[in-house]
Amino acid sequence: MNYPYGASIEDAYKKLQYDIYHVKNRSVSLYIATLIKRRSCLLHNLRNNNRYEILVTGGAGFIGSHIVDAYVKRGHNVVVIDNLSTGNRKNLNPKARFYQLILKIARCLFRFQKEKPQVVNHQAALASLRLATKEPEVLVDSNIAGTMNVLLASGRTKIKRFLFASSCSVLGHPKKLPATEATPIEPLSPYAYTKYANER
């Protein structure tokens, strides 16, 4: 899946649309990670050859680590914040600076102020089925309070771009696929509600 980095923004989005319709016989998780890597690079890499200071939350997770790898490959300076509750140190890119932090604590803001990122890619979230069913308040507190703190820190650092990873779970069970921006929002789980709340 070679990506046309030299293409226009419009051509790149057409390529993504084409890929979505030709998803047969692919690993779904790897395919989703590939799409997210492409989307996260799109705004920052197709316009010019500038290098950015980028902070990725959840950069030790499966999807987050793929995004970090893509940024590093393009020559950006990357900082990763992850509490390793579900992420793994083995996923970390050795060229990225890593801080093991909980997003909703004050030290997170201090780290933003010190690193001064230009771009924040917020991938961190708890998606535990056990928490969603037995302790939904923990999941809600982590996902919503954590995102609020990241947004506050980003605002005070005066970043240029903020990318937020939502979830198709906010759509529930769409009657028509592929889903579009017009697909009704029908979150069916505490995790989906936290993602929708952060979108709002």
DSSP per position, 24-50:
TTS-HHHHHHHHHHHHHHHHHHSS---
**Distance between CA atoms of residues 54 and 182, nearest Å:** 31
Q: Which residues 6+ apart lie within 8 Å of 94 measured at CB?
A: none
Q: Which of 21, 191, 193, 196 is catalytic?
A: 191
**Distance between CA atoms of residues 187 and 84, nearest Å:** 27
CB 93 within 8 A of CB 75: no
The yes-or-no answer on residue 191 being catalytic is yes
Which are the catalytic amino acids?
A: 191
